[in-house]
Amino acid sequence: MDRRRYLAAAGTAVAAGLGGCLGLTRGDNTEFDVGMRPTSFDPPTITVAVGEELVWENTGTRDHTVTAYEESLPDGAAYFASGGYESEATAREAWSNGAGGALSNGEQFSYTFEIPGEYEYFCIPHESGGMVGTVIVEDRTPTATPEE
Ligand SMILES: [Cu+2]
């Protein structure tokens, strides 16, 4: 998809367009960028542009979270977590007290990154199983160029 077509598509179907442009293939479902398997994010590392919305979807049957490692945030970046928690401690506490922030099968979490840099995040219940991921946010205009 060239840039002009990408921009045209972005107006009507942002998530679908981005999924397709990032080269993800998961049947006909391209309406998310990062899937959530039993104990991993797929892909574990993804690159987006500043201002580009990233969409996670729980593609498995277990509940998961998308929870930022607060210490990893670039300077000036806002905290992000499924459930909308404002800190890692709050997110962990909410999970302990009734699975706050849980994403069930088919549920999505989306976030738009405004500050360039590298963001580390994890899934609270599967952190010990290695369910961690990285978002690399580049200071550039979104393009249709595959990132991986
Ligand atoms: Cu998980």
Q: By C-alpha distance, which of 89, 56, 73 is closest to 137?
A: 73
What does the angle CA 132 – CA 16 – CA 60 come to, to the nearest 5 degrees? 40
Residue 15 located in a structural domain: no
CA of 128 to the centre of ligand 1 (A): 10
- Predicted TM-score of the model (pTM): 0.76
The answer, yes or no, to whether the previous bond of 142 is cis (omega within 30 of 0) is: no
CA of 31 to the centre of ligand 1 (A): 20
CA of 3 to the centre of ligand 1 (A): 35
Per the prediction, the chain carries an average pLDDT of: 83
Domains in the chain, number: 1
CATH number at residue 69: 2.60.40.420
Q: Does pLDDT of 40 surpass 60?
A: yes
CA of 108 to the centre of ligand 1 (A): 13
CA of 8 to the centre of ligand 1 (A): 35
CA of 11 to the centre of ligand 1 (A): 32
Strands 108-112 and 34-37, sheet pairing: unpaired
Residue 13 located in a structural domain: no
Residue 1 located in a structural domain: no
Q: What is the pLDDT of residues 79-101, one digit of tens each?
A: 999 999 999 999 999 999 999 99
Which structural domain range is residue 70 located in? 32-138
CA of 145 to the centre of ligand 1 (A): 29
